[in-house]
Amino acid sequence: MTESIFCTCPDLECPHHPNKQDDGCTPCIKKNLHNHEIPACFWFKVGTPGGADSEYTFAKFAEKVMTTE
In this prediction, residue 32 carries a pLDDT of 93
Q: Is residue 7 part of a domain?
A: no
pLDDT at 2 over 70: no
Structural domain contains residue 38? yes
Q: What is the domain range of residue 61?
A: 18-67
Query: Three-state secondary structure along the chain?
Result: CCCCCCCCCCCCCCCCCHHHCCCCCHHHHHHHHHCCECCHHHHHHHCCCCCCCCCCEHHHHHHHHHHCC
- The pLDDT value recorded for residue 46 is 84
Q: Is residue 1 part of a domain?
A: no
In a domain, 29, yes or no: yes
Judged against a pLDDT cut of 60, whether residue 52 lies above it is answered with no
Number of domains in the chain: 1
Would you say residue 27 lies in a domain?
A: yes
Mean pLDDT over each residue of the chain, to the nearest integer = 83
**pLDDT tens string 14-45:** 899 988 889 989 999 999 999 999 888 888 88
Q: Quick one: pLDDT at residue 49?
A: 67
